[in-house]
Structure 1
Amino acid sequence: MQPSRRLELQWLRAFAASEVVLCHSDLLTKHFSDFAIARSWYQPFSALGVELFFIVSGYVIAMRVGTKDTGGSFFAARVLRLLPMYWLFTSIVVAVYLVKPAWHLMGFSPDPISMAKTYLILPQQGFPILGVGWTLEHEVLFYLGVALMLATVGSGRGARLGLAWLLTGLGAIGLALGSPAGPIAGGGTLGAAFLTHVFNPFMLAFALGWLVRELEGRKPAELALQLLPLTLLLLWAAWEAPAGKLMPLWRIAAAGLVFAGFLLCRHALEKENRLGRTMVLLGEASFSIYLSHWFVLSAGGKLLGHFGMPASYDLPVRLVGVALALAVGVAFYVALEKPVDRWLRPGGRLRSFGLLPPAVTPAPAPIRKKPG
């Protein structure tokens, strides 16, 4: 294993992907069991892996953005990293619909506007054609924010801290307005959807990951100088938030604690063993797992519904189904995502043909002063 790799980040991705798959495992058991995670005590924090993915994304992007990167090359590289697999699974949904029109995933409407918004990952009020793709709409807006920073003020220390302030401000306003952290019913215009995505509590998750990376190794006085006003901003947002609308903040806080726990265990998670290799592979395959797991669980649930299984089989069915969904995601990663990603890296064929911009270069690690 390369010493420069941050293996605990792959553990985090693996944990986040597994948590999302487990929380969606109700799809497997709903036809024979009355128990549902969506109706259990865990429901308020169900699929917390989404917020964890956003925090990790903020941290990783802050770690990778270099001083020589341009806004256009950064944005193109990041979006092109998402599109191949996202388009593949979106097209599978469309193909199944064409074969069986009565089948609707998330109740999508196959009109040209919805199709265009989905394939271009544009903000929507409801779910895109591939239901889990709604999180990518927020991810792309975060990338756009980073790209605008690079294109206007560069990537210096002041610019990076300014972006942390901007993301926190957008998230705080969204929290104060009671903006929904996730898809909502109804159509709405592209402009309205864009505003609800920009002023959204999820921006706080990206801000948290970005800020943790930027403040690593800083002196206590500098930490207080940056964190105190941001904390006051969040307290204002929490005070102004409508009654019962603080759950997004608690979810991000809970995901932040998980994130911090994995970072603190960094050295322990770097050990070379079978568990470590498995978790790193799951982390690397987390995007394919996230995109494919709904198909596996939904198809498995429909199949099990014909067997009349007893409710006592709920737990073993969930465990087997989750393991199968993870394995299928890994298979897609190895067979498709990883080879395609090689084409998008420096020296890949598409770059050598001049069809893609230069790759994003990693930013140097923060310089830590020695005591004394």
Structure 2
Amino acid sequence: MKRSGRAASRLDSLQILRFFAALLVVIGHTQHALLERLGAAAGRYAFVPLDWGLGVDVFFVISGFVMYYLMHDRFAQAGATATFLRRRVVRVVPMYWLFTTLVLAVGLATGAVDLPWTNILFSYLFLPGPVCGEYCFPVFTLGWTINYEMLFYALFAIALGFPRRIGVAVVVGLIAGLIVMGQAVPVSWSMLHFWGYPIIGEFLFGIGLAAGFLRGWRVSRGAGWALVAAGLVLATVSYQLDLYDHIWRLWTGGIPAALILGGAVFGLEPRGAHGRWLAVLVVGGDASYALYLSHPVTIRVADAVAGKIGLFGHAPWAFWSGTVVAAVIGSFVVHHAIEKPLLARFYRRPNLGAGIP
């Protein structure tokens, strides 16, 4: 590895990777909707090369990277913990609560939501359960990943109260302890099982990569592409061999995600002025949270329209590709019409939103 000076605080390679991570999730959920419609006639549309949920693993590694990258020099500083938590709340909570409320309202109106009031309350508090199935899904099903994000923010905020070396040891110890506890407690303790799911270790991969980046680690562009390719190949092999059923997702998803992120930031950070398509991908990264939250709505609408015009019988591929494109376009609309105005409102309150990462 070559060493290089520190880069600017914003890394466009991360933004682009955020977009592709969200896109993987959209592709997977769209395929699932298509297979539900086609049933036994799915044929070639049923082929899945890799777990599309790899996008979630990439998101978690990115989150660990970004939090340490932005806050590495703030450990043990007065007010750092409070500032960090305020910024995280402003960035995540308003949009998530908005979509949770939308899903809840529609679900109550149609009878699709049948959860105890405690689970509804916990959904707004980013807590699992307390009445849990296998994954402790909240009202807005995709929110299980956001619950893990908020758990990581809480653990990282605790670590910020210590000097950096001790703080890093604290967050590593807390996450490792949760994983051990999650494996040790009885299965009936579903909430602790949720918190201790090994996937939370992926945040530590991101912290490690950020530490290396800040020390100046870099690779050539060729090596960067090789790392990305290695991550995708490893993810594909793991899925095709059903290793997900036998090995922790921390390894089958986390290691490929870490390789992909490492290749992107160490070797593929864009240099100089952006071309048109590169700029669009960066904007796609800005809208990745909106894409993640809004795409289930797009899939529902597309499914209803495609069913009425008979698209599933004549051109299933058109539903798949068209829905993915519509979800991306819709996320840009949501980002600019809803998310940015919400953030701007908090940006105007210096004590809450200034410098939101």
For the criterion TM > 0.5, the same-fold answer is: yes
Identical-pair percentage: 26
Report the Cα distance in structure 1 between the residues aligned to 2:155 and 2:296, rounded to whole angstroms: 29
Query: What are the equivalent positions in structure 2 for 1:186-205 lying under 5 Å apart?
Result: 192-205=189-202
Instruction: Judging by fraction of residues, say which structure has more helix.
Output: 2
Output the TM-score relative to the length of structure 1. Answer: 0.74
Q: Deviations over 1:242-281 (max 9, x none)?
A: 9824344211111112112211333446651111111111
2:164 corresponds, among 154, 157, 164, to 157
Aligned position for 2:210: 213
Instruction: Assess, with a 3 A threshold, how the Cα gap between structure 1 residues 39 and 173 changes in structure 2: closer, same or farther.
Output: farther
1:20 corresponds, among 21, 25, 37, to 25
Equivalent position SS for 1:130: coil
Report the Cα distance in structure 1 between the residues aligned to 2:184 and 2:47, rounded to whole angstroms: 24
Report the Cα distance in structure 2 between the residues aligned to 1:283 and 1:243, rounded to whole angstroms: 31
Aligned position for 1:52: 58
**CA-CA distance at 1:48 after TM superposition:** 0.7
Q: Quick one: higher RCO (CA 8 Å, sep 6+), 1 or 2?
A: 1
Q: Provide structure 2 residue ranges, at least 5 long, that are not aligned to the other structure.
A: 1-6, 218-243
Aligned position for 2:318: 316
Counting matched residue pairs gives 314
Query: What are the equivalent positions in structure 2 for 1:319-338 lying under 5 Å apart?
Result: 319-338=321-340
CA RMSD of aligned residues (A): 3.2
1:116 corresponds, among 109, 121, 125, to 121
Output the TM-score relative to the length of structure 2. Answer: 0.77
Deviates more, 1:312-321 or 1:205-214: 312-321
Q: In the alignment, is the contact (CA less than 8 A) between 1:27 and 1:301 conserved in 2? A: no
Q: In the alignment, is the contact (CA less than 8 A) between 2:90 and 2:352 conserved in 1? A: no
Query: What are the equivalent positions in structure 2 for 1:102-251 lying under 5 Å apart?
Result: 104=112, 108-124=113-129, 125=132, 126-151=136-161, 153=162, 156-163=163-170, 165-166=172-173, 169-170=176-177, 173=180, 177=183, 192-216=189-213, 218=215, 244-251=246-253
Q: Deviations over 1:307-359 (max 9, x none)?
A: 333556222321111010011111111011112112323xx14x4xxxx5575
1:263 corresponds, among 259, 262, 265, to 265
Q: In the alignment, is the contact (CA less than 8 A) between 1:26 and 1:37 conserved in 2? A: no
Report the Cα distance in structure 1 between the residues aligned to 2:272 and 2:57, rounded to whole angstroms: 24
Report the Cα distance in structure 2 between the residues aligned to 1:38 and 1:310, rounded to whole angstroms: 11
Instruction: Assess, with a 3 A threshold, how the Cα gap between structure 1 residues 139 and 247 changes in structure 2: closer, same or farther.
Output: closer
Amino acid at match of 1:85: M
Q: Provide structure 1 residue ranges, at least 5 long, that are not aligned to the other structure.
A: 180-185, 221-241, 363-372
Amino acid at match of 1:328: G
